[in-house]
Amino acid sequence: MPQYVEAYTTQDIYGITSRLYKLLKDPATKLEFCKVFAGNVGHYNYETELMEIDYRCDIIPTLIHESLHKWNPDWCETKVLEAERKICCKITKRQAKNILKAFIKIL
């Protein structure tokens, strides 16, 4: 199986999570906490920039996934999924808490 994403270093994960906190704190970020259908748990609309997160899903991986779509519009789904998985494997408990805190503030 081809590898689309290199392994992330601790420093890379720090950079990605910092960028995610900023995104979640930015009042310009359009995020909706809703039911997403068609077998999906999240969706990013490239035209409207609306990020939809299904409240029934795993919040952290979905937030990371949809943010990766926003930041990398040229990435295919396979690459986004691989990056999401690699990032989620490496985030720390503190980073997970900070992501959730930033997310809860905008609900």
Residues of the shown chain interacting with Zn ion in the complex, contacts defined by CB under 5 A: 77, 80
Question: In angstroms, what is the minimal distance from the CB of 57 to Zn ion?
Answer: 12
**CB within 8 Å of 41: residues ≥ 6 apart:** 53, 54, 56, 57, 58, 62
Residue where the block lists tokens 């409207």: 48
For residues 9 and 78, which CB has a smaller minimum distance to Zn ion in the complex?
78
Minimum CB distance to Zn ion smaller for 14 or for 86: 86
Q: How far is the CB of 75 from Zn ion (least distance, A)?
A: 9
Give all strands of the β-sheet with 30-34 in edge-to-edge order: 30-34, 50-54, 42-44
Residue number, 9 or 55, with CB nearest to Zn ion: 55
| R_g of the chain computed on alpha carbons | 13
Nearest approach, Cβ of residue 43 and Zn ion (Å): 8
Q: In the bound complex, what is the minimum distance in angstroms from residue 5's beta carbon to Zn ion? A: 14
Nearest residue (CB) to Zn ion, 34 versus 92 = 34
Question: Checking phi first, is residue 42 left (phi over 0); if not, alpha (psi -120 to 50) or beta?
Answer: beta
